[in-house]
Amino acid sequence: MVDEVLIEIEDLHFSYGDRPLLTGVEMSLRQGRISAILGTSGVGKTTLLRLMAGQLRPSRGAVRYRNRVVHEMSGRELYAMRREMGMMFQMGGLFTDLSVLDNIAFPLREHTRLGAAQIRDIVLMKLQAVGLRGARDLMPTELSGGMHRRVCLARAIALDPMLAVYDEPFAGLDPISLNAVARLIRELNDSIGITSVVVTYDVSESLKVVDDIFLLSDGKVVSQGTPRQLEAPEADPYAHQFIHAAADGPVAFHWPAPALSKDFRLSAA
């Protein structure tokens, strides 16, 4: 049912060695909606996705998928959960030695018992949805940046997943391709009736297409709401700084470091 919680994240902590990265993330991702996870580079957005998929184990707290704790699932249960997820990887991840058609057909061949004709028809429908049905026989090296992203998007929805996850879907795109990919994410979410998570630092495009926004900083969700709420003049300082790309604000530009006088042995004089 639309607006029911699909993923619940409760007091989630995670560290890389001695360096804490996530220190108490709280988040509810609702069915049928597009949620954007925003934050500066290195804040833990992709790590959060890996925790959602069960690739990493939290040091404290939990991710619940359909009311089940992900890190407590067996290998078989994790496999079944991941079959309900479609992923558009940050770097694309297309198989370079397979054609566009075969790249999108790959998850269908691996996870279903459909015949070759049925798989072909499904692939062509997905390519039609992203405007690339005529590019079925091209190889990944023959695709432009925007076409590459659209093929990745088609592969992410090949199995009609319950949840589609897009990791930096707008990275490296020209303005026309960027707008087209953003619009496709919105249209596919609404037409297929899935739930989508967009992980990005691109504010302008995400504000146009998402329903809910979560801002990550200092290991936590520091601001959340609809685009209209976060764009409002009375929004909290974190939202104002991020959305307006302000240099000054609660998110510091400099990584913590010793005083300049200590590093460069400057005299007090």
Question: Using CA atoms, how far apart are residues 27 and 7, in angstroms rounded to an integer?
Answer: 8
Q: What is the pLDDT of residue 247?
A: 66
Q: What is the pLDDT of residue 59?
A: 93
Q: Read off the pLDDT of residues 153-181 as tens digits, 9 standing for 90 and up.
A: 889 888 888 899 988 887 777 777 778 77
Q: Tell me if residue 106 falls in helix, strand or coil.
A: helix
User: Whole-model pTM above 0.85?
Assistant: no
Residue 232 corresponds to which amino acid?
A
Average pLDDT estimate for 211-231? 88
Average pLDDT estimate for 21-37? 92
User: Do strands 195-200 and 19-30 pair parallel, antiparallel, or not at all (unpaired)?
Assistant: unpaired
65: confidence class by pLDDT, cuts 50, 70, 90: very high
User: Do strands 163-167 and 195-200 pair parallel, antiparallel, or not at all (unpaired)?
Assistant: parallel
